[in-house]
Chain A
């Protein structure tokens, strides 16, 4: 159990369940935390759960399922206000009791809630195309990560959802609660009494025994896919391979490549494609260090799509060929440092970071990390940038007149 004691005005208790990412169980892992947090044996309906959380000054359980390399991470994070502020002595114990019941190994799940969740998940798929950006993202991921677990929808496919039965989820839950790797992080103003209570109520964490693999396929001929929809813009998503992973020596240099390319307002994509050429409003890049890839996304002026695509790919080519300037490096380093420091003020980020550090045995301190950032050279960044390989281009666009 990890404790972070500080002066935030809320207390967080986070529970993380970790398993290998397996397409067969995607839908189970996506659905399960929603069902777990919707009811308990003592709070048997959604409405009653909402009322209970309202009684606890609007406490809430945030659930999420995500991928980290070859692992699937399911999280349930309870947040409630610090009882000292509202002078309610029972608040913490009441909130903890709800959380305990949420993860009770012998608990039951409501069939009504399961049916509601299943219907809503199906409806989410049925309306995906209405949300152009979400649809474009899903399509791009399925093309870029073709034949890779990352290309499989986090929620499972529509077919998986339709096939899913409550009994499947229940049996998966029992196995998960008994056997799977789990971590607990507690963050906030916690007294010794609270700590004892937490240890009494929450089952002991089970540490990582699973192999952690970060890898992706090699290069292939560039894949171009253009689709049309009733829309005014063209949503462009470009995928590049950048085979540098979280544990690699060039990792921080790769973060700087991302920053300079499209990670902040002084980035090349922002300056050239938006400010100089006026081709878009939003443009940015993102680096996934678990898969070793860089992705660019933008909403482009439909009438200038061809030119914009050329300009974007040319810009990346130039970054690879000519590298960066010392000034660009200094600015990007200052920004990276700022991002790191400001994240220390976010309770949710601290909670998640504590879990990731524990799971992957990252023992680097903030000071060590800052020193590492300071030591990055222009050569490091150029070396990292040279590894970018253009791989996928997906466009969702309106019909041009």
Chain B
């Protein structure tokens, strides 16, 4: 077992590397602490739709990873979600663009729940009948999102920005695509991506390290085979957006706008990729975050409200910055934002603001460490990005104001897509 200590944060990590390739990372929290949080994740998400199997390339429908996440809870003797509840344990799962996670939070029966989590992930009980019956439930989940105008706009903007990349579609897929998913699709995907060698288990909070070590030693003996890691493929995406501007009249209370900048992904080392994500997010927040002059100005002029938001996406072969605003004066707002982001905003990237934002990032890291669930999630996320949560602060320290200035020049009018839902 490898032990690491991060003095700045007073955090310890114990790492178990199993012979089958699976890794177990333990982030203990000293007493008094009651909860244990366990997250098992595989680096297989909504964007991993095509993969190589021998010489063959397999293509799967949109929403496959999310569908499989639902079906992993099916067990020969009933629903695993309910079984966790009977143990007095809170379980859940989530699918992102890049990974799928199965998790639970327990204050009792920790080892039983851990064993059951592994049993669940080792027992794909996926057949024609239970796949068909799940379709109506997932369809209702998708419809729930489709009844939210902001989600509809986001999906539409992604379709306008991307030509081939699967980020065009919702993580859950579409009402049509999920109908094409079969038990064969899911079983094949399971066998390819869910092997122990592709899994990470993070255990955080109240832990019995000795018991965990003993458990995984036995587990490794039962599952000795190390499988080769699968190769996923992504379509070649043009630099330009598909639709530059689109407006439609909608039955909404106030007109809404989404503005997306499609960025060109780069081939970088894992560390540089994290750095890129951080500096790009920092740059756009310096320009339009709550402490920026532009935000204050737009709010003061009544051009935006509290729903104004900035999002950044740094996914496999797809990166973009998206702004959302509700406004009664959309034309004016649009004009100001375009000029600002394509030209005048550069002067706002000042050393004083940059240093302040570095402190914010440091603070955010500490807030994350305060919450065992958030800590474990971020730990897993950075692990799958081939880095470590605790190295993020060092990466942050490497960022220079000049990096932000260079990043600003990546916001190009030519790669911008605007979507407007105008109030009827």
Contacts and interface: CB of A to CB of B under 8 A. Distances in A.
Given A126-B254, A347-B370, A265 B84 contact: yes
Contacts of A345: 33-35, 205, 372
Interface residues of B, number: 70
A82 B366 CA distance: 9
B147 A132 contact: yes
B148 A132 contact: yes
Contacts, number: 182
Interface in A328-383: 331, 333-335, 337-339, 341-342, 344-347
Interface in B252-269: 252-254
B347 interface: no
B147 A338 contact: no
Contact of B363 (A58, A266, A279): A58
A335 to B, nearest CB: 5
Contact of A86 (B290, B296, B305, B362): B362
Contact of A57 (B87, B91, B141, B362): B362
A119 B305 contact: yes
B140 A281 contact: yes
Nearest to B105: A342
Interface in A295-344: 299-301, 331, 333-335, 337-339, 341-342, 344
A299 B370 contact: no
A127 interface: yes
Given A54-B291, A85-B366, A274-B137, A338 B89 contact: yes
A159 interface: no
B33 A233 contact: no
Interface in A1-38: 6-10
B107 interface: yes
A230 interface: yes
A210 interface: no
Contacts of B33: 345
Interface in A234-286: 264-266, 270-271, 274-275, 278-282
A299 B140 contact: yes
A157 interface: no
Contacts of A230: 251
A282 B144 contact: yes
16 contacts: A10-B370, A54-B360, A57-B363, A58-B361, A81-B363, A120-B305, A127-B253, A127-B326, A278-B133, A281-B137, A334-B86, A334-B88, A334-B108, A341-B35, A341-B107, A342-B35
Given A123-B253, A233-B144, A281-B138, 9 more contacts: A57-B363, A231-B147, A232-B143, A275-B82, A281-B137, A338-B88, A338-B105, A342-B107, A347-B370
